Copies of this chain bind each other. A is one copy, B any other.
Amino acid sequence: MASGAEPGVLELVRRGHEERILALLRARGPLSRAEIARSSGLSRSTLSEIVSALLERGAVVTATAEATGRRSPGRPAELVTLNPAAGRTLGMDFGHRRVHVAVADAAQQVAATGTRSYARSTSWGRRVRIACNLVDSLRVDLGPLTGVGVGVAGPVPRDRDGRPDGAARQVAEAVGEHFGVPVVADNNTRLAALAEAARGAGTGSSDVVYVRLSDGVGGGIVADGRLLRGAAGTAGEIGHVPVDAAGPPCGCGGHGCLEAYASVPAVLAACGGADLPGALAALDAGDAAARAAFDRAGRALGLVLAGVCNTLAPERVVVGGELAAAGEAILGPAEEALRRHALPMVRADLRLSPASLGPEAGALGAIALVAHESPLLAGYPFLMAGGTPA
């Protein structure tokens, strides 16, 4: 009953009203203020206040019934409609050696993408300038940007308020200064997980486990329609689930982690290959060492995935990263081990598939993150309808 609780409640009420009006407009198209009042149950004065705020932010615009092509029986009422130019979102994925950018409209349709390489030694500040120049060079109308999502390689620690810390914060601040809009940030592999769940191989499911087999092994978890963050902000580090406590040492300081079996370097070490294209060619040529190396990686992957799936009971497992290019040579043994060790109830409706989004996954996930972390959508699972905010 402390009155200190009041501002929180009122803020929650206001946000809820805004979101519901936007949801009504998404579901029913342009509406007059009277129609919104009727459908939302809001008083005229509250409604007027909220619509003014939405107009000011550029989230909605007004139009005549004629302009929207709607027939109106009486005098032409002014209609409120989602701003078609609003809600453009920019996604940026900063890897160790290249940046990907993507621009999407309010309906999450991709309007443009681009990529630029840089040396691994490039500073974060320089990477941001390269990315901003890349966005300019796309010559796409950004309109009134809703926000920017940023992915960065490497762990993204969180401060006490849940905001990204370290390099991610530095990059987010520089990007925010350049575009003058809110920026959200996360690890780029977790963002690829979000993208695969929202618009890739996991579309249509609210429970997706994503694992990425590359120089390292990372991943991300979407559970009940949300990207899990965890208290440490690092949820999804499937690459460091132990396969065998007595296994080979891992870069993380542990032993027998999945990364020590199913990363590109681990597979190359196992088959004596110099690089991945060479190892894939050897595999194609029927080389026994190459086959054994991919098979070992796949079995380790499947065993770890079985544990993760028994813990989380997902519907889809999506495998991305360069190693997934080996196809059945790695996914076959992975699926076999997964099915052998997953509980009958867990494996019954479980599907394992290769990732479908390619190298833009991180940038697309950064776009999805903007909607995912919007305070207007706080608490709403948003992946239910195939990735478009509900």
User: Which residues of chain A have a CB within 8 Å of any CB of chain B?
Assistant: 1-3, 5-6, 8-10, 12-14, 16-17, 20, 23-24, 27-29, 37, 39-46, 49-50, 155, 157, 205-207, 219, 221, 223-224, 226, 228-238, 240-242, 244-245, 252-255, 257, 299, 303-304, 306-308, 310-315, 337, 340-346, 348-350, 379-381
CB distance from A357 to the nearest CB of B (A): 21
A343's partner among B42, B49, B240 (CB-CB below 8 A) is B240
With A6-B27, A228-B312 as given contacts, are A343 and B39 in contact (CB-CB < 8 Å)? no
Chain B residue with the shortest CB-CB distance to A41: B46
> In the complex, A49→B41 CA distance in Å?
10
User: Inside 8 A of A27's CB, which chain B residues have their CB?
Assistant: 1-2, 5-6, 8-9
Q: Which residue of B lies closest to A315 (CB)?
A: B231
**Known A27-B9, A238-B311; contact A207-B231, beta-carbon cutoff 8 A:** yes
Q: Are A313 and B232 in contact (CB under 8 A)?
A: yes
A158 to chain B, nearest CB (A): 10
Give the 6 A-B CB pairs with smallest separation, nearest first.
Answer: A230-B313, A41-B46, A231-B315, A241-B307, A232-B313, A379-B379
CA distance A45 to B38 in the complex (A): 10
Q: Which residues of B contact A206 (CB under 8 A)?
A: 231
Could you tell me if A9 and B24 are in contact, using CB atoms closer than 8 angstroms?
A: yes
Chain B residue with Cβ nearest A241 = B307
Chain B residues with CB below 8 A from A252, complex form: 343-344
Least distance between A231 CB and chain B CB atoms (Å): 4
In the assembly, what is the distance between CA of A207 and CA of B230, in Å?
6
**Is there contact, CB below 8 Å, between A221 and B20?**
no
Residue of B nearest to A23 (CB): B9
Provide the residues of chain B in CB contact with A13, threshold 8 Å: 20, 24, 39-41
Copies in the complex: 2
A sample of 15 cross-chain residue pairs with beta-carbon separation below 8 angstroms, ordered by A number, consists of A5-B27, A6-B27, A13-B39, A41-B45, A223-B230, A223-B235, A230-B346, A232-B313, A235-B311, A237-B311, A241-B311, A252-B343, A254-B341, A254-B343, A308-B311
Per the bound structure, the CA–CA distance linking A376 and B342 in Å amounts to 35
> Are the CB atoms of B221 and A224 closer together than 8 Å?
no
Docked pose: A167 CA to B229 CA in angstroms: 34
Which of B235, B340, B341, B342 is A312 in contact with, Cβ under 8 Å?
A: B235
A313 and B37: CB pair below 8 A?
no
**Complex alpha-carbon distance, A338 and B3, angstroms:** 43
Does the CB pair B207–A345 fall under 8 Å?
A: no
Residues of B within 8 A of A29 (CB): 1
Name the distance in Å between A86's Cβ and chain B's nearest Cβ. Answer: 17
Min Cβ gap A93→B in Å is 21
Instruction: Tell me, in angstroms, the Cα distance from A234 to B252 when the chains sit together.
Output: 31
State whether B313 touches A235 (Cβ < 8 A).
yes
Residues of B within 8 A of A207 (CB): 230-231
Residues of B within 8 A of A3 (CB): 28
Alpha-carbon separation in the docked complex, A344 to B7 (Å): 37
Complex alpha-carbon distance, A197 and B235, angstroms: 18
Contact at A312–B230, with CB atoms within 8 Å?
Answer: yes
The interface residues of chain B lying within 8 Å CB-to-CB of A232 are 313, 315, 345-346, 348-350
Q: Whose C-beta in chain B lies nearest to the C-beta of A256?
A: B341
Least CB distance from A107 to B in Å reads 12
Report the Cα distance A42→B342, complex, angstroms.
Answer: 50
Residues in B whose Cβ lies below 8 Å from that of A315: 231-232
CA of A219 to CA of B307 in the docked complex: distance in angstroms?
13
Bound-state CA distance A342–B230 (Å) is 14
Q: Chain B contacts of A379 at CB under 8 A?
A: 379-381
A304-B380 Cα distance, complex, nearest whole Å: 32
